[in-house]
Chain A
Amino acid sequence: MLFNSLDFAVFLPIVFVLYWFVTQRNLKIQNILILVSSYVFYGWWDYRFLALITFSTVIDYLIGLQLAKSEDQSKRKLLLWTSILVNIGFLGFFKYYNFFVDNFVEAFSFFGNEIQPNTLYIILPVGISFYTFQTLSYTIDIYKRKLKPTSDFVAFGAFVSFFPQLVAGPIERATNLLPQFYKKREFKYNNAVDGLRQILWGLFKKIVIADNCAYFVNTIFDNYTDYGASTLFLGAVFFAFQIYGDFSGYSDIAIGTSRLFGFNLKQNFAFPYFSRDIAEFWRRWHISLSTWFRDYVYIPLGGSRGSIWNQIRNVFIIFLVSGFWHGANWTFIVWGGLNALYFLPLLIIKRNRVHTNVVAEFKVFPNLKECFGMLFTFIITVIAWVFFRADSVSHATQYLSRIVDVSFFNIPEIRPTFLFVLIFIFILIEWAGRRQLYAIQTLWFRFPRIIRLFIYYLIAMTIFLYGGKEQEFIYFQF
């Protein structure tokens, strides 16, 4: 069920009414409702996916209980590795099996040994990378004794499958989300209104910005040999806005929906395109994944401690693994590697934690240095996004090599004026709201109520009339 579908527009009010009017007196029943709704939501794609998530839930629930009971370190390690192997095993099979087989076959044929590929027709369960990481964090945190396991299976099941963030995050930690299932949720008017506002903004990002960009991105990337350098660059810029609008839009809808039900999820995007360097960008982009890798991979590897070579190694590992997490294709690995290369100079000169505040925090406009920093960071990010979007590494390199051409200074062949205007307005709003959790959170609070309402109606109408052709959320494939 897509957030921007009619199915969800019917599903959400039904669950909302049942949640606050029918089951609100009994926490257990309310959690059961969340669990059942989440399974309906997930099963809407393909009911067969439910078996996988149920299995994963049961395994980690049982392992969690055993981990807490046991004092024997070797047994605890065994339990932890069982959880890791089961979860990563599922992920590996469903997501990476064919990739590895294909690459083995290619490697063998390179050395003159022809072997028949034994690939399988595997449907990738939607959101498997997200809930797998969520359950893994649960067992790892229990293993590290940072968290007590839950004996409440319903609460745990609801935590794993919580429908607002099940298929594309934010990847929640058990330490944050699970305790919220133990407490009675109170309906708070301001939270609910704030949630709706965030949903509205998320829909705008997804339907107006991302889906409209997607149309031109697909045209340009699929026919890149027909266009000049300036159009190709524009295509890459459009993709930067598409992926941001798509993914952060999804996160906004997820967080907003959760707020309607009295839950608080973590912020997943913090205006990443206003970053002054790549390190800041990665603190602001897909925060829940970056912090997951930081806490469960980077720090256990030694993090920023140890020799500079160890630090460089750790940075590469984290970016390459993060790239691979996105998909079974070399393009994602190159994308991760490229970001590691961008990050490296900052690490070496120890300037990777310079920009920890909001850009132009107490000013309206940034200064020249900040402007240059943001522009430079955006451009190198756009270059990396070409690998992310391309079908293959050679597609990406050919695309990029065509950008380096005198035709870069020509007027692009594709000039969708309405999209330029929309993106410009979007950037202005995001800039004005960059100090908040999402751009329009309190942006127009100083205006009279009637003006505010007018703006919200305008956004709603723009979503309706300027909505691009419905596209699935990009991150569902990861």
Chain B
Amino acid sequence: MRLFFKKILIFLLAVLLVSFVTDYLISEGLRTSDRYAQGETYIWNQILEGDISEDIYIYGSSRAWVHFDPALIEDSLGMTAYNFGIDGHFFWFQHLRHKLLLKNNPKPKFILLSLDVFTLTKYEDIYALNINDDFYNSKQFSPFILNAEIRQYTSKYKGFSWLDYNLPLYRYYGKTEDLREAIRDKSRPFGDSNFRRKGYRAVGRTWTVDFEKAKSKMVHYEVIKHQPYVDLMNQFLKECRELDIKVIMIYSPEYIEGQEFVKNRVELMNTYTKISKTHQIPFLDYSRDSLCYDQSLFYNSQHLNAKGSKLFSEKLGNDLKEYIFDKSN
């Protein structure tokens, strides 16, 4: 019996050791993948490795991700820029990016903070209906789960369990595609080499859904602000001021007819206006811009397609000159 237990213990310890090593190898393989988790892991890795050194950081959700083309902004302003938009997530994880960026990289001169109606909301489990109990694209955090800040921020959401955080390899259980991606030869591009360009994603498709039909089915809804996130944003802006980072709040175009579905839209916009006034920072609102009236520039009511984002980024680049050169110099 003693021999049995001794051998079991040795076997399990060896399993644990092998698990640690395998976990490390998979995580390392995924960190450098430019396509895993929609390319988010690659960006997190750059942030944590201290590979970022830009004049302008762009924060926001998927709307930032697909609307702000850093190359066009760089052309207009003669400054370097990087898009840190994070698909499917609101200010909480945007703030995590900000925190890790400042911790591991030189601070930027400017931050363009992209807003939308959901920026200050909190969903326990935002896409629970279509992705089991996971939070959206949570696998982007898998290779970095031992990082204290990432652990702190992700643990506020449903998704990772205690075992995911503490048992090596557990979070990769049954995820064959993760393993395959980890061991894929990263020197070979997977197809679309422009999948993310400095974080930016150009979406080529056009809006094919019959909007009139979709409109008849849609219900009007209210977006609930999460007060701790409002406080967090205020805190963030205060800290930026102290660090001499200039923040510009931007509400990028939204298809005009899609705006009417949010019942408390005015209240949300007033909140952003109030925040900008409190911190005395510019708030550029493009929600009534001429771009918002042209359906061919969108691929859905919230998101501009590549054509729309090109027009918007050029326009924004020009508009920013006034704020950047006048106020920073």
Using a CB–CB cutoff of 8 Å, the interface residues on chain A facing chain B are 6, 20, 187, 189, 192-193, 196, 207, 211, 418, 453, 457, 460-461, 464-470
Contacts and interface: CB of A to CB of B under 8 A. Distances in A.
Contacts of A469: 174
B174 to A, nearest CB: 4
B179 to A, nearest CB: 5
Contact of B4 (A187, A453, A468): A187
A189 B3 contact: yes
B173 A461 contact: no
B13 interface: no
Contacts of B179: 465-466
Contacts of B146: none
6 contacts: A196-B8, A453-B11, A457-B18, A464-B169, A465-B179, A467-B173
A466 B18 contact: no
A433 B13 CA distance: 29
A464 B1 contact: no
Contacts of B218: none
Contact of A466 (B7, B15, B169, B174): B174
B14 interface: yes
Q: 8 smallest A-B Cβ distances: which pairs?
A: A467-B174, A465-B179, A187-B1, A189-B4, A192-B4, A466-B176, A457-B18, A464-B173
B174 A193 contact: no
Most buried by A among B1, B4, B18: B4
Contacts of A457: 14-15, 18
Contacts of B7: 193
A418 B176 contact: yes
Contact of B22 (A187, A418, A461): A461
A467 B173 CA distance: 7
Contacts of B175: 465
B214 interface: no
Interface in B1-21: 1, 3-4, 7-8, 11, 14-15, 18-19
Given A192-B4, A457-B14, A465-B176, 11 more contacts: A6-B163, A20-B1, A189-B4, A193-B4, A211-B174, A461-B22, A464-B19, A464-B173, A464-B174, A465-B174, A465-B175
Interface of B: 1, 3-4, 7-8, 11, 14-15, 18-19, 22, 163, 169, 172-176, 179-180
Nearest to B179: A465
A107 to B, nearest CB: 42
Contacts of B8: 196
A461 B16 CA distance: 11
Contacts of B173: 464-465, 467
Nearest to B3: A189
B132 to A, nearest CB: 10
B175 to A, nearest CB: 8
B169 to A, nearest CB: 6
A460 B15 contact: yes
Contacts of B3: 189
A187 B3 CA distance: 11
Nearest to A211: B174
A64 B160 CA distance: 52
Contacts of A470: 174
B18 A461 contact: yes
Contacts of B172: 464-465
Nearest to A416: B176
A189 B2 CA distance: 9
A77 B19 CA distance: 60
A211 B22 CA distance: 22
Contacts of B1: 20, 187, 189
A466 B172 CA distance: 10
B50 to A, nearest CB: 31
B174 A468 contact: yes
Contacts of A460: 15
A222 B188 CA distance: 36
Contacts of A466: 174, 176, 179
A466 B15 CA distance: 16
A193 B4 CA distance: 8
A331 B90 CA distance: 50
Contacts of A418: 176, 180
Nearest to A469: B174
Contacts of A211: 174
A211 B174 CA distance: 10
Most buried by A among B8, B175, B176: B176
A460 B14 CA distance: 11
A210 to B, nearest CB: 13
Nearest to B7: A193
A195 to B, nearest CB: 10
Contacts of A468: 174
Nearest to A466: B176
Contacts of B14: 453, 457
Contacts of B4: 187, 189, 192-193
B162 to A, nearest CB: 11
A460 B11 CA distance: 11
A453 B18 CA distance: 12
A445 B4 CA distance: 18
A213 to B, nearest CB: 13
A470 B163 CA distance: 17
Nearest to A192: B4
A453 B180 CA distance: 24
B10 to A, nearest CB: 10
Most buried by B among A457, A465, A469: A465
Nearest to A458: B18
A418 B173 CA distance: 16
Contacts of B176: 418, 465-466
A470 B173 CA distance: 10
Nearest to A13: B8
A310 B107 CA distance: 90
Contacts of A453: 11, 14
A34 to B, nearest CB: 18
A186 to B, nearest CB: 10
Nearest to B17: A457
Most buried by B among A20, A193, A196, A464: A464
Nearest to A457: B18
B163 to A, nearest CB: 7
Contacts of A189: 1, 3-4
A184 to B, nearest CB: 15
Contacts of B174: 207, 211, 464-470
A359 to B, nearest CB: 33
A142 to B, nearest CB: 36
A2 to B, nearest CB: 14
